[in-house]
Amino acid sequence: MTPRARRLLYLLFIVAVAAPMIWPVHIPLVVKPETRDLYDRIDSLSPGDVVVLSSDYSPGTASDVHAAAVAIFKHLMEKDLRVISVSFTADGPQFAEQMLATAPEGKEYGVDYVDLGYRAGGENAISAFAQDLRKTFPADIHGAPVDSLPVLAGVTGANDFALVISVAGGEPGPVTWMRQAGQPYGVPIAGVVTTVMVPPNLPYYQSKQIIALLYGLRGAAEYESLVNQPGAGLAGMGSQSAAAVFILVSIVIGNTLRISAAKKGGARDDD
Amino acid sequence: MTTDLGIWLAVLATLAVYSYLYKENPVFRVAEHLYVGASAAHAVVMAIGNIRDLDVKPLLSGRLVALIPMVLGLMFYARYFGRPDIARIPVAVVMGIGAGTALRSMPGASVLAQIQATILPLDSVNNVILVVGVIATLSYFLFTTGKGRVNGYVASVGKVVMMVSFGASFGATVFAGHSLVVGSLQLLLGDWLHVLAR
Amino acid sequence: MKEITVGLTFLVTVLMTVEGYVSIAPLTKAVGELKNWGIILSAFAMGLAAFGLISLHVAKVRKRGKDQLYSAVLLAGFAGFLAMGLLAGPSSSLYAFYYRNILQSIGNAVFSLLMFYIVTAAYRSLSINKWQSAVILAAAAFVMLGSVPVGEALWNKIPVVSSWILKVPNTAGQRGILITSAIGGIAAAVRAALGLERSR
């Protein structure tokens, strides 16, 4: 492919993705059962129940999962649940702070939600956290001793969690949480994963070891429609549709040109 | 167009990277190297926070057992002072922790539970496909026995099942970069140029 | 030295594994301490990668090679973020400002380039010349269209087929792969515990 053809292809792709953002096209969205399972589970919890929201993603995956984290956090706040934000990837706390900044008025840090920050070591750190929260995080991200925070009253480890929601760009993810907290302590585990990670996580959803699974930006759009809070997820659906169609049309055109060139017996002209 | 300094910084950084789409150039390489350096620093900052909170503070408050992980951790760097053999000691501990973590959780969660979930009544087409598909895929990975006629046929079925899996994974992978493109365009068209519909 | 390291790995593995199946208070306390040591050692190990990277680029700048400008930029970025992180703290608004507007936006853009490679590959390389590639692409096409609203608008059965592909054949294939890799992981852990791993 010549550089000129390649640049033209990129430009066409950018135009295809940008157009629905500038002139939105509203196509109805069907909510998957995997997404509704999380919504129903959160709805069934009682005020004061403890939910762990684990932000384990990086700049390379944030655009896929962060919107879902924001929508879920808003739902948790509406239900008056106690939210513990943790991270087991180095970039997680930065995104957790951006998510917690959307807390509605009337909700107080340290009383309704807390950010404990980051611990290194992946699966081992999750195991340590599930066993003994206070030993793993003696203080929150701002240095306040956890014993002084009302939101953590009576919470010592996974036995006290009503739900864990793993928002993951890769590892550690919901399967890791299932192995270290779900299986040993019986805590329900839900996952928000990038679209790439959906196929390998589905066997655990089918076996009910993971109770819910949101599919990247699509999952975010579905959750936003359930909680009636339009955000980046719904805003991106038109572009995602355009991108999918663009890719498929490229495959068809590429194969058509290849087949016709093969029939003519000559080299294909990429321009 | 915005006057927010932060957004202008983000836009310049994004355009520097996207200049690669035209052709590789020094501006892109500067942005790339800046990212690598900043990422490495961020990891070090977060690591130092962990060591301070879990090791240094307990040590300063009198918990002498905290000296052990401190010494072990510093042993990692012995390789830069000509003693790679000493660096193997903390590696041994980390390997033991990793192996122990795997052995306490994987047999139950990733093997037995998954096998249990495959034991389904063969009363629907989907269940039959699921059960046969799992058995066929597992038989594909039997490399220590020769592939006879029956085993070979079953392994071929496993290969087809895996192809469908990989196709599904590819279909999902297509969107791997898409949401990132949307994120960058939302910055450029929305936050910077204000041309997106509200 | 080999006996010490093998013995250490074996001891730690046995302690952690047994505690996962048997509940004995002193053992649980000891393993809890070990897990915390694991976090601390992982943090020390993170510095190793940065140490190696910085050493490499300092050497490049010293040698005044043709890429020294880029190495200098890398070192400046490292120094800047490290200073901010240590002095102001990673949860400060200053750090968050530079993280969000430089690190996050460059990271987002760099990884988004993958999408453009996929676009080129879709046009050039994804050829349907055998039935195997047709199976892969058909599954991919249905999953792609089933993930976006326009797929439902084109044909209302697309999401049904897409969901079936993901939940039945994909689950079967992925389950076979993950059981196999889990058994492999267990075998690797046993080998590591017994000191049979050659990487020592």
C-alpha torsion sign, points A13, A14, A19, A21: positive
Res B45 pLDDT > 60: yes
Is the distance from CB of A208 to CB of A217 less than 8 angstroms? no
pLDDT band at A269; cut points 50, 70, 90: very low
pLDDT at site A271? 43
Residue with tokens 């057992």: B65
**Reported pTM:** 0.94
Query: Rounded to a whole number, what is the distance in Å from the CA of A145 to chain B's nearest CA?
Result: 11
What backbone torsions phi and psi does residue A166 show, to the nearest 5 degrees? -100, 115
Which chain C residues are Cβ-neighbours of A181 within 8 angstroms?
none
Residue C3's pLDDT is: 87
Q: Confidence class of residue A106 from pLDDT cuts 50, 70 and 90?
A: very high
- What would the mean pLDDT of A153-171 be, rounded to a whole number? 96
**Residue A268 pLDDT > 60:** no
> B93 with C12: CB under 8 angstroms?
yes
Residues 67-106, chain A, touching B (beta carbon < 8 A) = 90-91, 93
C75 and C61 Cβ atoms separated by less than 8 Å: yes
Query: What distance in Å separates residue C62's CA from the closest CA in chain A?
Result: 31
Q: How far is CA A88 from each of CA A96, B164, C3, C78, rounded to the nearest angstrom?
A: 11, 33, 33, 22
CB A11 within 8 A of CB A19: no
pLDDT of A82 above 90: yes
- The first and second tokens of residue B118, run together, are 């495959």
Sheet containing strand A113-118, strands side by side: A113-118, A82-87, A50-56, A163-168, A189-193, A212-215
Using 50 as the pLDDT threshold, list the residues of chain C that sit under it.
200
Residues from chain B contacting residue A137 (CB–CB below 8 Å): 53
- Residue A138, preceding peptide bond in cis (omega within 30° of 0): no
* Interatomic CA distance for residues B112 and B103, integer angstroms: 13
pLDDT digits (tens, 9 = 90+) for B88-125: 999 999 999 999 999 999 999 999 999 999 999 999 99
pLDDT band with cut points at 50, 70 and 90 for residue A81: very high
pLDDT at A101: 96
Which of B47, B114, B195 lies at the smallest CB-CB distance from A203?
A: B114
Supply the pLDDT for residue C186: 92
B170 pLDDT higher than 90: no
CA distances to A17, A65, A190, C103 from B190, in Å: 14, 20, 32, 20
Structure tokens of C55? 């050493």
Beta strand extents in A122-256 (DSSP E only): 163-168, 189-193, 212-215
pLDDT of A117 strictly over 50: yes
What are the chain B neighbours of C1 within 8 Å (beta carbons)? 85, 88
Confidence band of A122 (pLDDT split at 50, 70, 90): very high
| Alpha helices for C22-104 (secondary structure H) | 25-63, 68-87, 93-98
Please give the share of chain A, as a percent, with pLDDT higher than 90.
Answer: 79
ipTM: 0.91
Does B182 sit within 8 Å of A17, measured CB to CB? yes
Cα end-to-end distance, chain A, whole Å: 7
- Residue predicted with more confidence, A103 or A271: A103
Q: Using alpha carbons only, what angle is made at residue B81 by residues B77 and B86, rounded to the nearest 5 degrees?
A: 60
- Identify whether the C-beta of residue A217 lies closer than 8 Å to the C-beta of residue B180: no
Report how far residue B94's alpha carbon sits from residue B50's, in angstroms, rounded to the nearest whole number: 16
- At A232-253, the pLDDT tens digits run 899 889 998 898 889 888 888 8
Tokens describing residue C43:
């943090």
Question: Stretch A181-208: mean pLDDT, rounded?
Answer: 95
| Distance between CA atoms of residues C24 and C18, nearest Å | 10
Torsions phi, psi for C171 (to 5 deg): -60, -40
Element (H, E) at B69: helix B67-75
Short-list A84, A75, A71, A70, CA closest to A45 = A75
With 70 as the cut, is the pLDDT of residue B136 above it?
A: yes
Interval A103-131 mean pLDDT: 97
pLDDT at C128: 66
A143: left (phi over 0), alpha (psi -120 to 50) or beta: left
| Whether pLDDT at B169 is above 60 | yes
What sign has the CA pseudo-torsion A198, A199, A200, A206? positive
Residue A168's contacts (CB-CB under 8 Å, 6 or more residues apart) are: A54, A56, A57, A65, A174, A191, A192, A193, A194, A197
User: What is the predicted pLDDT for the residue at B127?
Assistant: 94
Q: What is the mean pLDDT of residues A23-47?
A: 93
Q: Does C29 touch chain B (CB under 8 A)?
A: no
**Tens digit of pLDDT for each residue in A93-103?**
999 999 999 99
Determine the residue of chain A that is closest to B134 in CA distance. A203
Select from B104, B106, B178 the Cβ nearest to the Cβ of C185: B106
Residue A165, beta-bridge partner list: A53, A190
Which residues have a Cβ under 8 Å from the Cβ of A232 and sit 6 or more positions away? A63, A66, A67, A70, A217, A220, B182, B183, B186
Angle of CA points C145, C148, C170, to nearest 5°: 55
Q: What band does B153 get if pLDDT is binned at 50, 70 and 90?
A: confident
Q: What is the rounded distance in angstroms from the CA atom of residue A217 to the CA atom of residue B182? A: 10
The chain-wide mean pLDDT, for chain A, equals: 93
Question: Taking residues B166-194, what's their average pLDDT?
Answer: 88
| Any A CB within 8 A of C145 CB | yes
Residues 6+ apart with CB under 8 A from B124: none
Dist CA B68 CA C37 (whole Å): 8
B85–chain A nearest CA distance, Å: 23
| The Cα angle at residue C138 between residues C135 and C144, in degrees rounded to 5 | 140
CA distance B84 to C80: 31
pLDDT, tens digit, 9 for 90 and up, residues A47-75:
999 999 999 999 999 999 999 999 999 99
Closest Cα in chain C, distance from residue A146 (Å):
17
